[in-house]
Amino acid sequence: MNSQRAARWAAFVLIAALAVLAALAIKGGATALITSGAVLVPAPDTENSAAAHQTGSSETAVLAGGCFWGVQGVFQHVEGVSRAVSGYAGGDEKSARYNLVTSGNTGHAEAVRIEFDPRRISYGRILQIYFSVAHNPTELNRQGPDWGPQYRSTIFAQSAEQASQAQAYIAQLQRTKVFDQPIATTIEQGKPFYAAEAYHQDYLVRHPNQPYIIQHDQPKIENLKRLFPEQYRAAPVLVGNAS
């Protein structure tokens, strides 16, 4: 964990502890604090019609929603996903390095490239998992203790069709008001993806006892298992040194 993230983690622990104490005081010992952050959202209205046209053996989605460790970890446990790589999207190749992206000035977001078999899982289901358990889509440039545009909630559409489907789905979720706040997720199309450094790959799997992972990312895996049992796979698909 770098110094910036360590400082943010320490601040978050302090704030969380104060919030718990306040909740206990207000509720007389019965806390109403929700820590999982999971909201099971409805599937896209277009899910059935889209599934009928899935003929290829491989598609790619690129999603950003806070620190890429947790987003990658979630989709590594999803059936039908063959590879999930942590990386950067939104900026140029020269600035696609962690020490630069953390400045928040590169245009990049920490993102995950997800390769999946559309015959086993649809793009719509990928988005449903993304909105339900991978992150909080009502926060644009912040997730947990991490803040800045490099942690933004963004769908990097890989085609006009993906962009259209994502726009329709966001509009659907806004209408149904499944979240207390408006969805802040943006859609960016035509932005290349660059794989992150090797030490960021499979991070959740390799560091299960790190406090940041325990607090922010392991609950996402548990929520995936609980809310999407048919899509959950116990053994994650690992990438090793991604390229």
- List, by residue number, the catalytic residues: 67
CB of 196 within 8 A of CB of 64? no
Count the neighbouring beta carbons within 10 Å of the beta carbon of residue 174: 12
Angle, CA of 13, 197 and 10, to the nearest 5° = 10
Identity of the amino acid at 176: T
End-to-end CA distance of the chain: 22
Place of tokens 């806390």: 31
- Which runs of consecutive H residues, i.e. helices, occur in 28-77? 47-51, 68-76
CB of 90 within 8 A of CB of 156? yes
CB of 144 within 8 A of CB of 134? no
CA separation for the pair 201, 203 (Å, rounded):
5
